[in-house]
Amino acid sequence: DPYSGDPPRHPALKVNSLKPFNAEPPAELLTENYLTPSQLFFKRNHLPVPAVDPASYRLEVEGPGGRTLSLSLPELKSRFPKHEVTATLQCAGNRRSEMNHVRPVKGLEWGIAAISTARWGGARLRDILAYAGYGGEETGEWHVCFEGLDKDLSGSAYGASIPYGKAMACEGDVLLAYEMNGEELPRDHGYPVRVVVPGVVGARNVKWLSRVLVSREESPSHWQQNDYKGFSPSVDWDTVDFTTAPAIQELPIQSAITDPPPSATVPPGELTIKGYAWSGGGRGVIRVDVSLDGGRTWHVAEMAGEEQPPGRAWAWRLWQLTAPVPTGSTELDIVCKAVDTSYNVQPDTVEPIWNLRGVLSNAWHRVHITVAQ
Ligand code: MTE
Ligand code: MO
């Protein structure tokens, strides 16, 4: 069993797939903390968790002209200043199950909690690329490609890439992280080193990082080329051509209700509703609207958590609303929708954004509950 070496996991996690391990925390626990405790942080593995010996670990960085740097863990930690970033990671498949209810899609049945937030610490990717010899003046289209130590049966490693501009921008905050929430990275989250690309889809945040290279082409990996792309609802598995769509990088505006849970029964009087809101690309969340009547009337939720600088708002905002339950109502259709700094909004329904892979599922989140009489 190639998975026999996987680490132990927290029993509260809702397991989506055991081998490889994919799990999300219970939604109500997710918004208990602004920083998700690492044990409860959602886990998305495509392959077995590699066992890495920190003493022999080397990170290979290909410099210009094929010169290769080989960095040990102590070198990575001592040669480059440690930089810390609070960033939210969201899987492209978060909320996929809602798309599946429209028409079947291919992928793991994620609920609303394939998203979590941590304080990441590590070396800036731009410092390492500069050390390897890159100056930032490369013209035309370039990409920074990453490879993981996790390999499939054919021997190909998990891989992904990001635009060179994002990697080199001072305001890009891309890290080669060796710390998560003030401790060394847990094995499930990429021990000893992972990429953290704030504002960008989870899939590019390569764990168990073994190799970095700058290339004219995006990563040749399956996950960059033939997965993690969005399509029209009209495209099916007979007609899909993965070369026609760009790889997902920055994610769109997202929000969801974590409490009360679906089908809850609440007492009459006052009701407190909680959730999260986040947008990709460093766009902050400027507002969360909440409705108790399916979207006919709206309240503005209160947001908590750090307000990060414009263009670098990498972390979610947790929000809550306390509102009177309208007298006489027996059922409530709670809805939330968020707005980001570019005034991007969430679509009201799932149908028009349905896609065969079930990615980018960000329609208004709806929770139907009963009011006790
Ligand atoms: N990196 C490697 N090496 N292998 C993987 O399977 N999964 C990716 C990304 N990085 C993956 C990886 C995907 S799809 C996501 S959503 C995030 O890691 C999940 O990160 P987490 O498990 O720390 O939450
Ligand atoms: Mo993902």
Angle CA 86–37–192, to nearest 5: 70
Average pLDDT over residues 51-76: 96
The per-residue pLDDT for 136 is 65
Beta carbons within 8 Å of 105's beta carbon, 6+ residues apart: 96, 99, 354, 355, 356, 357, 358
Ligand 1: which of 15, 17, 45, 195 to mutate, most ligand atoms within 8 Å of CB?
45
Answer for the pair 343, 238: CB distance below 8 angstroms, yes or no: no
CA distance 293 to 26: 25
Angle CA 307–277–110, to nearest 5: 140
The 10s digit of each residue's pLDDT in 287-311 is: 999 999 999 999 999 999 888 999 9
Average pLDDT over residues 144-148: 98
Q: Which ligand is nearest to the CA of 191?
A: 1
The per-residue pLDDT for 140 is 82
Question: What's the 45 CA to ligand 1 centre distance in angstroms?
Answer: 6
**Closest CA relative to residue 354, chosen from 247, 233, 252, 227:** 233
Domain annotation for the chain: domains and CATH numbers: 14-244 (3.90.420.10), 254-371 (2.60.40.650)
Residue type, 296: R
pLDDT band at 227 (very low <50, low <70, confident <90, very high): very high
The per-residue pLDDT for 221 is 97
CA distance 231 to 356: 7
Average pLDDT over residues 47-67: 95
SS3 breakdown of the chain: % helix, strand, coil, rounded to 5?
15, 35, 50
Beta 183-184 vs 175-180: how paired, if at all?
antiparallel
CA distance 363 to 337: 8
pLDDT tops 90 at residue 139: no
Three-state secondary structure call for residue 358? coil
Residues with CB under 6 A from ligand 1: 41-47, 89, 91, 148, 150, 158, 188-189, 202-203, 205-208
Q: Which of 59-73, 136-150, 169-183, 354-368 has the lowest mean pLDDT?
A: 136-150
pLDDT band at 66 (very low <50, low <70, confident <90, very high): confident
The 10s digit of each residue's pLDDT in 239-263 is: 999 999 999 999 999 999 999 999 9
